[in-house]
Amino acid sequence: MAKAKIKFLHKPNCATCRKAKIFLEKKKAELEVRDLGKERLSAAELDQIIGSRDHRKFLNPRNELYRRRKMGKNPPSRDEALKLMAAEPNLIRRPVVLRGPDVVLGYDEEALERIAK
């Protein structure tokens, strides 16, 4: 049985995304790439991806809106976070790497290694 493709959600100008993509390509992983700048995630898609996970882990602490609204100290509700991330894709921690039920956020080499197998 063929392995499921890895969904790679990113922004091409993001250095962390490029690093993760190169790592996965070296592992010969088959990627289904989505540019979040050109094809945003809807709140419903984000809700499905996040599932029962903590929505706060999907927020990008380097984002200007995150810092301006002090989301680290005053995190938005799940519903508000979904709406904000759908409207502002830079608020999503990137890349988002998916295979089946597994999700990796950012560049976590061990987790990327596991998802690439």
Please name which of 51, 39, 52 lies closest in space to residue 86, comparing C-alpha atoms.
39
Number of domains in the chain: 2
Both 88 and 99 in one domain: the answer is: no
Both 74 and 64 in one domain: the answer is: yes
**Tokens at residue 15, please?**
């250095």
Contacts of 108 (CB under 8 A, 6+ apart): none
Q: HSE on the CB side for 31, CA within 13 Å?
A: 22
What range does the domain containing 86 cover? 42-92
- Mean pLDDT for back-to-back runs of 10 residues, the chain (117 residues): 83 97 96 97 98 97 96 97 97 97 96 95
- Say if pTM beats, i.e. exceeds, 0.95: no
pLDDT of res. 2: 56
Alpha carbon distances (Å) from 56 to 19, 66, 72: 23, 11, 9
What is the rounded (10 degree) CA torsion for 66, 46, 18, 117? 130
